[in-house]
Structure 1
Amino acid sequence: MARVLRLAQRKLYAYALASSSSSSSSSSSSSIRTVTNDFSRCLHSRDAISTALSQTRSYGAEAMPKSPIESNILRVLRNEIEYQSEYAPPQQPVSEFNSFTVQDRPGEQCITMRRKFGDQEEIKIDATMFDGYEDVPKFGDDSSGVNVRLHISLLVDISKGEGGSELEFLCSAWPENLEIEKVYILKRDRSRAIPYMGPDFRTLSAEIQDKFVEYLKARGVNNELSVFLHDYMKNKDRIEFIRYLGNVKSFVEK
């Protein structure tokens, strides 16, 4: 099946999964390795394309028959979509988590979360899909192998009122915990071309680190959020993969 899909990509110059990696700080014990996890944007729904095709055929000549290669590609894609949709089908994405609203971005690699805190503060979180990993040793009988620990990047913006600055946190969300990588002030007008972004978080004193961790925990940016994001992105990964297959199939069907 993989061989046929690769042939389809070469034949039709269809979307290929491109290597992309978000720049994220490495953990103190090992560096985060970037992984391929980029999905094509959904520009047209399959229903809209089917309707447009049927209208075109009703007013024009009959569509040209598909070549044996194209017919085979379509058969493989249909089978794969059916399999992926029936085997562990994705769930409808949730729209809320604790005090946050969750805004999915269909066809994109990010989601946005928002909430208010107190009378003034607005909190906005942009979270990626899985954008890296690190190897961790296995324990027990199969101690010779390694497990993969997936990584998600978070950008947490905390603002107070209109026209002011934002306190911004660059964070790493691991399956069971959240780590702060950077803390800096960002001007809303982005007037400075290269603003000073502050030191690496781990170089700050232990007391300052603890206070910032408490600061985020009070606003719901904590280990529980990391667990939620990993569950959410696993589901989104399946949704986007099925969407990607549907987009490729729609292109070939034209």
Structure 2
Amino acid sequence: MSAARTLRQLASASSRISSRQLSLARLPLIARSVSRVPTASRAFSVSARSLKAGSSDVMLAEKLGEELKYENETNLEEEPEFLTAFKSQGIWKITDKAGENEVILTRQFGNESIRVVFSVADLQNQDPNEYEDLEEDEERSEEEQEDSEPNDIVRALVSITKSAPNGALEIDMTVQQGQFIVENVTYFADSKIGQDLSPENDWKRRGLYAGPEFSTLDVAVQEQFEQFLAERDLGEGTAFFIPEYARFKEQREYVRWLENVKGFVDA
């Protein structure tokens, strides 16, 4: 989720809370006033229930339309420069299905098939304390906010598979600030278990030894393994690309969500 959108949402939420507190403070007075009014006819409620749609539909569709217009106006770029540059390298193939959270990168390296899976859902699970000082952020200029470096953390699951009987490696990592941070490396004797994403093989993987925590390995082993990954283009360039693409996809999915929900309310 973009920082700008998060800040707008926090500001809007703050405004709603203030209005609600004011309304609650005046509640006793309103209640006393209402108690003096004769009981109203139920004609309105009966009429509202007889309508095809609820009375709030028009306002909801209008607000969704306003948000959709804003997002389309502020995100005009069809394919951002970073994505064009990444594709031009011709190293990774990107599989990105509309409406799904996960993105898959695949490539061949010698006799190895390499797959990287990451999800845009990680962006929605970031620590809300990142925007804890809303007033200070609002005082910053838009240019300063655009220039600030995002600190998104995205999980990535890497599988490196060789033809039988060589097996496969599954590497659990996080991606942050241009770095792959390895958590553990699992070896599968059966390459199908490491490659097949079916529930059956996922269950088999859970029952196998996952390997030691990567940070407990000898430092020399850690460093050499990082070189092993970098040679397969799992280094700084791809580590910067993954969170950036996750933000790009999340934005597209958000716009698609607005269109779909507005279309449903309007129908």
Q: Please report the TM-score for the alignment, with normalisation by the length of structure 2.
A: 0.61
| Deviation for aligned residue 1:105 | 2.1
Greater Rg, structure 1 or structure 2? 2
Matched, 1:237 2:250: yes
Which amino acid in 2 is paired with 1:236? Answer: K
| Aligned ranges 1:23-42 → 2 under 5 Å | none
TM-score, normalization by structure 1: 0.64
C-alpha deviation, 1:233, in angstroms: 1.5
1:75 aligns with 2:66: no
More helix by share: 2
**Post-superposition offset of 1:231:** 1.8
What is the alpha-carbon distance in structure 1 between the residues aligned to residue 219 and residue 254 of structure 2? 42
- Whole-Å separation in 1 of the counterparts to 2:244 and 2:237: 11
Q: CA deviation at 1:234?
A: 1.7
Per the alignment, in what secondary structure is the counterpart of residue 68 of structure 1? coil
Work out whether 1:126 is the aligned partner of 2:128. no
Once the two structures are superposed, residues 144-198 of structure 1 have per-residue CA deviations (whole angstroms, 9 ceiling, x without a partner) of xxx9721011111111125752111111111322211110113324456510001
Number of aligned residue pairs = 185
Unpaired runs of 5+ in structure 2? Answer: 1-8, 17-50, 131-135, 137-148, 194-200
Secondary structure of 2:99's counterpart equals coil
What is the deviation of 1:124? 0.8
Structure 1 residue 102 displacement after superposition: 0.9
Of all paired residues, the percent bearing the same amino acid is 24
Structure-1 separation of matches of 2:223 and 2:118? 23
Compare the two structures and name the one with the higher strand fraction.
1
Q: How does 1:1-254 map to 2 (within 5 A)?
A: 66-89=53-76, 91-92=78-79, 94=83, 96=87, 98=89, 99-118=91-110, 120-129=111-120, 131=122, 132-133=125-126, 149-161=151-163, 165-186=167-188, 187=190, 188-189=192-193, 190=201, 191=204, 194-254=207-267
Decide whether aligned partners of structure 1 residues 105 and 163 sit closer, same or farther in structure 2, where only a CA change above 3 A counts. Answer: farther
CA–CA separation in structure 1 for the residues paired with 2:103 and 2:224: 27
Question: Can you give the 5+ residue segments of structure 1 that lack an aligned partner in the other structure?
Answer: 7-63, 137-141
